[in-house]
Structure 1
Amino acid sequence: MKALKIAYKPVGLVLGAASGMLAGALFKQAWKMLGHDKDAPDATDEERAWAEVLLAAIVQGAIFAGVKAAVDRAGAASTRRLTGTWPG
């Protein structure tokens, strides 16, 4: 059991990196669909309003959390199918 946890660590790291890239791409598309500028505002972007900066942060956070949870869950389920053990 402990060996599976150790073996799953690199897989989890790769999945985490992949989910971050996927979430970033999804956020860019979502931000465009919301009818805003091409790039989302940074918190220190002086020309952007508070509401726009906060909306961007909330949307980005929700997308990142959702994608991370989906990728982590799929990775764990795949590990169970391959090994018969949940990697928790």
Structure 2
Amino acid sequence: MSRVVSRGLSAASGMLGGALAGAIFKQVWKLASGKEEAPQATSEEYGWREVLVAAAVQGAIFGMVKAAIDRSAAQSIHRATGK
């Protein structure tokens, strides 16, 4: 039963983390570029450099948020179960 609960919490934290990372990226991009929306890879109005920089920043933010959530969950589980 605890495995089912753990997977459910993992899925929920993943969705929450994705939404949080998306919101953080949007604000960072707005501050860095002065534009509301980040460039899409398929958009012809942006060059390679801007598209790749946006992707790198987005990936770094998503990775950081995921690591923070995973680490927090692991510590919480350890405190609750002692394992």
Aligned partner of 2:66 in structure 1 is: 68
Aligned partner of 2:37 in structure 1 is: 39
Q: Give the Cα separation in 1 of the matches to 2:3 and 2:74.
A: 11
Of Structure 1 and Structure 2, the greater helix share is in: 2
CA RMSD of aligned residues (A): 1.2
Equivalent residue pairs, number: 83
What is the TM-score normalised by the length of structure 2?
0.92
Cα shift at 1:78: 0.6
Call closer, same or farther: CA 1:59–1:31 in 2, change over 3 Å. same
Q: Please, which of 56, 68, 81 is the counterpart of residue 58 of structure 1?
A: 56
Cα shift at 1:60: 0.1
Q: Percent identity of the aligned residues?
A: 48
Q: Give the Cα separation in 2 of the matches to 1:28 and 1:77.
A: 29
Gaps in structure 2 of 5+ consecutive residues: none
Cα shift at 1:31: 0.2
Q: Give the Cα separation in 1 of the matches to 2:2 and 2:74.
A: 11
Cα shift at 1:54: 0.4
Cα shift at 1:33: 1.2
Moved over 2 A (4+): 3-7
Gaps in structure 1 of 5+ consecutive residues: none
Higher normalized contact order (CA 8 Å, seq sep 6+, divided by chain length): 1
What is the TM-score normalised by the length of structure 1?
0.87
